Amino acid sequence: MTYPRVRKAVFPVAGLGTRFLPATKSMAKEMLTVLDRPLIQHAVDEAARAGIEQFIFVNGRGKHAIDDHFDFAFELERTLESRGKAAELGRSREMVPAPGNVISVRQQQPLGLGHAVWCARHAVGDEPFAVFLPDDLVMGSNPCIGQLIALYEQTGGNVVAVQDVPREHTNRYGVLDVGRDDGRVAEVIGLVEKPEPEVAPSTLTIIGRYILLPEIFDHLQNQKPAAGNEIQLTDAMAQMIGQAAFHGLRFTGTRFDCGTKLGFLQANLAYGLRDPDVSVELRAFAKSELQTRG
């Protein structure tokens, strides 16, 4: 069976980034850089590599820098061109999607992830779509969202990226109740948002990559605030179980939780150690620091 192609991705980017204050007092947390690229560009690059064509940013007040980042910067480009900086000019232009392929919608109230996704309903329309949480950076040769799309093309329905976590951490995530499980693909028979470890149905948790059917908008339309007094995407997804196929995929790649200081620093170190321009000196510096402070 052939399923409709996944062409669009939603990026909820309206959060305040309070964990990174004061750095995020006047800038979007998604513009914090891992090596030389903002988090939001890492996410958009992953989407583009997987064949996504349209990028929908659900933003809030003060997030104009994200839209500007994916636009032409004529003054900068003219200066780079006049100075013969072709490589830098190419890097500036490579991040700009085709005209009309970036859509920006506003989430006027901070009512949670489910509400942010619902705000994108008119831009998505009646087709399956991807959701990216840019805080979750996945490093690997095979784009994480591309792996989800490949599974969706086999099974249809909803597909989420999952990983096992220590049981004591289940109250940080949406957790799967699992049916059939071959060690890579798990059938989802239930979802619980941030359960306490003693009642969590498993330790298999959702990270920030989703393929969702458009029917999710019907459930989000009527969703009541729940955990944290927010409209939870997990609760709306749980209502779709039994109505369509639903699977969790243990993806290949390394996930960094860049919504935390530790995860953000780990990501910068990992990408730096793989960058040919800085890896040798960074490795020597890290070794020296460890020896000095160990």
pLDDT at residue number 82: 83
Strands 254-257 and 136-139: antiparallel
- Residue 62 within any structural domain of the chain: yes
The 8-class DSSP code of residue 158 comes to E
CA separation for the pair 275, 283 (Å, rounded): 11
What pLDDT is stored for residue 228 in this prediction?
A: 66
Whether residue 211 lies inside any domain: the answer is yes
Q: Is residue 128 part of a domain?
A: yes
Handedness of CA 110, 100, 51, 211 (dihedral sign): positive
CA dihedral 237, 240, 246, 252 (to 10 degrees): -10
Domain count, the chain: 1
Does 274 reside within a domain? no
CA dist., res. 210 & res. 114, Å (int): 12
Please check whether residue 52 is in contact with residue 5, taking contact to mean a CB–CB distance below 8 angstroms.
no
For the entire predicted model, the pTM comes to 0.91
Is 270 within the bounds of a domain?
no
In order along its 294 residues, the chain shows pLDDT tens digits of 789 999 999 999 988 778 888 888 888 899 999 999 999 999 999 999 999 999 999 998 877 888 888 887 878 778 877 888 888 777 777 778 888 899 999 998 888 899 999 999 999 999 999 999 999 999 999 999 999 999 999 999 999 999 999 999 998 888 999 999 999 999 999 998 888 999 999 999 999 999 999 999 999 988 776 666 788 898 899 999 999 999 999 999 999 999 999 999 999 999 999 999 999 999 999 999 998 876
First vs last C-alpha separation in the chain:
57
In a domain, 78, yes or no: yes
CATH no. for residue 101?
3.90.550.10
Strand 129-132 with 8-12, pairing: parallel
Q: Is residue 222 part of a domain?
A: yes
The boundaries of the domain holding residue 74 are 8-259
User: How many other CB atoms are found less than 10 A from the CB of residue 80?
Assistant: 19
- Token digits for 147? 């792996």
Greatest CA separation for the chain = 63
The secondary structure element, H or E, covering residue 228 is none
Looking at residue 145, its amino acid is: I
Do the Cβ atoms of 90 and 81 come closer than 8 Å?
Answer: no
Is residue 288 assigned to a domain?
no
